[in-house]
């Protein structure tokens, strides 16, 4: 699997968690809290590994890739801040719902931007073998980050 397929798979997982959250019943507070925490964890692990390996490789290339990942990194920071501001709220309060809706919108926008211009840049800039190597590196980093969170 190459890095683009791996990242797309992560994106699809988060979209699926968003769909489960939205389809949960109005009073399924515990389920929604668990889904939120899973989304929060998955986004943290994904974005850190992505920035450290995929974005770093793109930044190492001169040209338009630097601007693309700079914007993507900014979006990661905004999503992180929204997650922090949402995490302390009770699921049943209206502000949680508002912030969660904003989170979904921001993440979906980020995914669209990344799977478009950023992925296209990577396809054009890296040989297939390097894209596969990045996927392996990201998987290893995600496992390490996951173990750190579980400790």
Is the confidence at residue 88, as pLDDT, over 80?
yes
Share of the chain above pLDDT 70, in %: 100
Confidence of residue 14 (pLDDT cuts 50, 70, 90): very high
Domain ranges of the chain: 3-150
**How many Å apart are CA 113 and CA 139, to the nearest integer?**
22
pTM of the model: 0.93
Per-residue confidence (pLDDT) for residue 27, from 0 to 100: 86
Backbone angles phi, psi at 88, to 5 degrees: -80, -10
- Whether residue 38 contacts residue 17, with contact meaning beta carbons closer than 8 Å, is answered with yes
Does the structure show a pLDDT above 80 at 151? no
The CATH number, out of the four listed (3.90.110.10, 1.25.40.90, 1.10.4080.10, 1.20.120.520), of the domain defined by the range 3-150: 1.20.120.520
Rounded Cα distance, 56 and 49, in Å = 10
Residue 110 CB-density burial (10 A; 0-12 exposed, 13-18 middle, 19+ buried) = buried
pLDDT band at 71 (very low <50, low <70, confident <90, very high): very high
Of residues 26 and 79, more confidence is placed in 79
In the prediction, which pLDDT does 63 show? 81
45 vs 64, higher pLDDT:
45
């Amino acid at each position: 699997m190459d890095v683009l397929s791996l990242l797309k798979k992560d994106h699809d997982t988060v979209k699926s968690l968003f769909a489960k959250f939205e389809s949960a019943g109005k009073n399924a507070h515990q389920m929604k809290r668990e889904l939120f925490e899973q989304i929060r964890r998955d986004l943290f692990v994904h974005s850190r590994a992505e920035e450290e390996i995929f974005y770093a490789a793109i930044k190492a290339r001169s040209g338009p890739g630097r601007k693309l990942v700079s914007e993507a990194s900014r979006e990661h920071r905004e999503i992180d801040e929204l997650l922090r501001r949402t995490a302390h709220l009770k699921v049943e309060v209206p502000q949680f719902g508002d912030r969660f809706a904003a989170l979904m919108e921001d993440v979906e926008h980020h995914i669209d931007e990344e799977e478009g211009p950023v992925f296209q840049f990577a396809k054009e800039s890296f040989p297939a073998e390097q894209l596969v190597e990045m996927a392996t590196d990201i998987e290893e980093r995600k496992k390490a980050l996951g173990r750190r969170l579980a400790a």
